[in-house]
Structure 1
Amino acid sequence: MIRRSLPVLLLLAACASENEGSMPAEAAAPKEAAPASLTLTALDCGTIEALDLGIFDVGGAYDGQTDTLADSCWLIEHEDGTLLWDLGLPAGLVEGGPMTDGPFRVSLTRTLADQLAERGVTPDFVAISHSHFDHVGQPEAAEGAVWLAQRDEREAMEEAAAADETGSLATLLAFETESFDGERDVFGDGRVKIIEMRGHTPGHSVLWVDLAETGPVLLAGDLYHLDRARELRTVPTFNSSEAETRASMAAFEALAQETGARVIIQHEDADVAPLYGTTLR
């Protein structure tokens, strides 16, 4: 999501390059069924009303349109630990109510911390697809976790932190961190992988989760915001690199086709809303 809305939204929470880069290596297709102990749970991290959908395509495909986007976070439970993927909108929206800032009207009904507590889970690791305001809003929910940070994205955050009036970026930057480049096999068995897919931001990533019953799943981060964005290959006006975005889309689609992975677009309400509170195995 667009970075220029970050200061105002994170202030609420406090109150309550075009750089060309190499593409990551593709994840290999699983040769054996994954153990059933691995699970993936969708968590509700807010709602975003896009009041000007036109900003989501450099070619003007959505000019004059509006839409409502989901904001989802994801809990991955593995026998060797738990990973929290993305941190949603600021928790202050729960008490403060919906607010409008520029092209977005945002709202949140439940905090991420409450949803994790309801499940009795304290994350061991946290990772973000990228550092836009709707993906870093609740770092307090991951307090004590080790941040698995794509190095390029962390460096971009360090540059942006000085302008962050509320300190949410600084909060995450202060976490115990394990930085990496390109791809990270989270638990060392190939079943949960963070894969860099640059272009939306300098270190944007997607998440691969290989489930025993569901099969492989790809969480798309913000490579696509809508189902039709995947169909049309639209590139938002605020992406860091159109060329890198298009290269990432090609790599992502090749991986999805090769492995038969189920693709979940994290902002597509039709993809994620039916999964809230549901655990995939």
Structure 2
Amino acid sequence: MIRRAALALAILLAVPRLAQAAPPDVRLYTLDCGRLVDQDLDPYADDGAYKGLKRTMVVPCYLVRHPKGDLLWDTGVPQAIADMPGGKAPGGVEVKRKLTDQLAELGLSPADIEYLALSHSHFDHIGNAGLFAGATWIVDPDERAWAFRPQARANKTQFAAYSALETAKTAEVGEQPHDVFGDGSALIAPAPGHTPGHTVLLVRLAKAGPVLLTGDLWHAAESRAGKRVPRFNVDRAETLASYEAVEALAAREKARVVRQHVPEDFEAMPRFPEPLR
């Protein structure tokens, strides 16, 4: 695994620039896929910096619409929570709008999504993934193995949310970024450490420019500058190597960096159903 971390910087910096302008009709939609309310932040920094702090985290999903198809990035917490009283589940998990309802507002059903990618396989990113088992699942092989390991299967409720992906068609990220549409407009690259096969998504837009969706690299707003590592990450050294790699990619691309759980970054995106172009 350390070899993967050592390669991350070289791989990400090798991501090719577009030879021409980004396709003008690529759009990026930000969908509301839940909230993690009043979370204890202490687990999100192994240096004790967040002890005693609580914060609400947003749980977004993202849809990339391209002339060659639609890519859904992350699927949020289970949308069935929206049917519970007040749209709330134990543990401070809330869902106000179902993912499928938001897709329907764009004239889409789960069957219409050609590509599915998950930054990683934690419950708040994979909670509705089974609905999209008909899509091509773009996944790091280490993350696929992690998602289907015996310990993951043992949590029957969470596993049921994505178990249908076990027989889905897949495309691998591996040690090279995956060019989703073949034109450099959407690239999925390895950024391991939080989980074994955690990934990030670079979307290049004609007007807004490059946008870097960073999954769970940073959970709190101050985690990026502080290079804080959650206590539950699978590999601290890989996490720090991925920080370096992603920062280098963001600097080279002059990309807008989206820390996915940070409310300020969520609110700064166009409000659904308006896209970023």
TM-score (normalizing by structure 1) = 0.88
- C-alpha contact (below 8 Å) 1:34/1:211 kept by paired residues: yes
Cα distance in structure 2, aligned partners of 1:265 and 1:168: 24
Residue 51 of structure 1: how far off its partner (Å): 2.9
Q: 2:115 aligns with which of 110, 115, 125?
A: 125
Are residue 163 (structure 1) and residue 143 (structure 2) matched? no
- C-alpha contact (below 8 Å) 1:84/1:142 kept by paired residues: no
| Equivalent residue, structure 2, for 1:59 | 47
Paired AA for residue 225 in structure 1: H
Paired AA for residue 39 in structure 1: R
Residue 251 of structure 1: how far off its partner (Å): 0.4
Q: 2:59 aligns with which of 65, 71, 76?
A: 71
| Equivalent residue, structure 2, for 1:10 | none
Instruction: Give the 3-state SS of the residue equivalent to 1:266 in structure 2.
Output: coil
- C-alpha contact (below 8 Å) 1:161/1:169 kept by paired residues: no
Residue 241 of structure 1: how far off its partner (Å): 0.5
Instruction: Give the 3-state SS of the residue equivalent to 2:165 in structure 1.
Output: helix
Instruction: Give the 3-state SS of the residue equivalent to 2:3 in structure 1.
Output: coil
Instruction: Give the 3-state SS of the residue equivalent to 1:240 in structure 2.
Output: coil
Q: What are the superposed Cα offsets for residues 162-210 of structure 1, whole Å, 9 maximum, x if unpaired?
A: 2131322312223222233132110111110000100000000000000
| Equivalent residue, structure 2, for 1:149 | 139
| Equivalent residue, structure 2, for 1:20 | 2
Q: 1:261 aligns with which of 249, 255, 264?
A: 255
Pairing of 1:27-38 with structure 2 (within 5 A) = 27-38=15-26
Residue 50 of structure 1: how far off its partner (Å): 4.1
Cα distance in structure 1, aligned partners of 2:198 and 2:238: 10
Residue 84 of structure 1: how far off its partner (Å): 0.2
Paired AA for residue 176 in structure 1: K
Residue 273 of structure 1: how far off its partner (Å): 2.8
Cα distance in structure 1, aligned partners of 2:122 and 2:33: 14
Cα distance in structure 2, aligned partners of 1:256 and 1:112: 29
| Equivalent residue, structure 2, for 1:273 | 267
- C-alpha contact (below 8 Å) 2:133/2:164 kept by paired residues: no
Residue 143 of structure 1: how far off its partner (Å): 4.4
Instruction: Give the 3-state SS of the residue equivalent to 2:168 in structure 1.
Output: coil
Pairing of 1:72-151 with structure 2 (within 5 A) = 72-96=60-84, 97-101=87-91, 105-121=92-108, 122-151=112-141
Paired AA for residue 47 in structure 1: R
Q: 2:183 aligns with which of 176, 180, 189?
A: 189
Cα distance in structure 2, aligned partners of 1:260 and 1:249: 16
Q: Between 172-181 and 192-201, report the one with greater CA deviation.
A: 172-181
Instruction: Give the 3-state SS of the residue equivalent to 1:251 in structure 2.
Output: helix
Are residue 173 (structure 1) and residue 166 (structure 2) matched? yes
Residue 150 of structure 1: how far off its partner (Å): 1.1
Residue 91 of structure 1: how far off its partner (Å): 1.2
TM-score (normalizing by structure 2) = 0.90
Gaps of 5+ in 2: none
Residue 274 of structure 1: how far off its partner (Å): 4.1
- C-alpha contact (below 8 Å) 1:86/1:127 kept by paired residues: yes
Paired AA for residue 94 in structure 1: A
Are residue 238 (structure 1) and residue 232 (structure 2) matched? yes
Would you say how many aligned residue pairs link Structure 1 and Structure 2?
Answer: 260
Q: RMSD value over aligned CA atoms?
A: 1.4
Gaps of 5+ in 1: 1-18
Cα distance in structure 2, aligned partners of 1:142 and 1:111: 14
- C-alpha contact (below 8 Å) 2:130/2:163 kept by paired residues: no
Cα distance in structure 1, aligned partners of 2:71 and 2:179: 12
Residue 242 of structure 1: how far off its partner (Å): 0.6
Report sequence identity in percent. 40
- C-alpha contact (below 8 Å) 2:250/2:256 kept by paired residues: yes
- C-alpha contact (below 8 Å) 1:55/1:236 kept by paired residues: yes
Residue 31 of structure 1: how far off its partner (Å): 4.5
Residue 140 of structure 1: how far off its partner (Å): 4.3
